[in-house]
Amino acid sequence: MGTRDPRIDAYIAKSAEFARPILSHFRALVHKAAPDVTETMKWSMPHFDHGGIMCGMAAFKAHAAIGFWKSELIVDARYDKSEEAMGALGRLTTLKDLPPDRVLLSYIKQAVRLNAEGVKAPHMARREARAKKPETRPPADLAAALKKSARARKHWEAFPPSHRREYIEWITSAKQAETRARRLATCLSQVAEGKSQNWKYESKPKKKA
């Protein structure tokens, strides 16, 4: 039987009114699809573990977010809005923004199966592979975009090789021209702010008391 973490009850209770039904509904679906799931808090956000990190959720001032640790292997193109916000399903403001329950239940069950099979999260596998690879030169479209933005170019040149490689691989792995264009625009915007491609998952330094 799974476990419930009272810290998640408190998290939902303190969330904005619009977010509570979204978080509560997803939480219920997780327990329905994976009865022996373990609840916990990671990076100050509710997460669900089942043989490792499976999925998580968060509430912000104007939207909520839901993400799967191995989302690239789980969330299909119909509902993948990872470029809109943290989490695979984009900005969620009402229950209507969520995929149908049958789809979410399928995603959760896939997450359980992938963990049981020991499949690594793609972003973690890429990180391990990058440690063994030399830096890749930016493709022509990215190089041209950086040339036009002094601010982005300054941060790009200051990035460690691993950060530059993350963006290059993310852009060049796009299968469609529209997806590549969106990723290029997101890359330029984030780099101009000094953000790495995986900035959403990086731990923030704790404030001194």
The pLDDT tens digits for 121-145 are 776 666 666 656 666 789 999 999 9
Farthest-apart Cα atoms in the chain, separation: 56
Q: How far apart are CA 27 and CA 24, in angstroms?
A: 5
Any residues with CB less than 8 A from the CB of 197 and at least 6 apart, and which? 163, 166, 167, 170, 187, 190
For residue 104, give every residue at least 6 positions away whose Cβ sits within 8 Å of its Cβ, in sequence order, or none: 26, 29, 98
Q: How far apart are CA 195 and CA 46, in angstroms?
A: 24
The SS3 assignment for 183 reads helix
pTM of this prediction? 0.61
Query: What tens digit of pLDDT does each residue of 151-205 get?
Result: 999 999 999 888 998 899 899 988 899 999 999 999 999 999 999 988 876 655 4
Domain range list for the chain: 6-119, 123-201
Task: Supply 9's token pair.
Answer: 């009850």
Q: Which tens digit of pLDDT belongs to each residue from 23-73? A: 999 999 999 999 999 999 998 999 999 999 999 999 999 999 999 988 888
- Its CATH architecture, for the domain 6-119, is Alpha-Beta Complex (3.90)
Closest Cα to residue 115, out of 51, 39, 67? 51
What are the distances in angstroms from CA 82 to CA 4, 58, 153, 177, 182? 27, 14, 24, 17, 11
Contact criterion met (CB below 8 Å) for 161 and 197: no
65 and 89 in contact (C-beta within 8 Å)?
yes
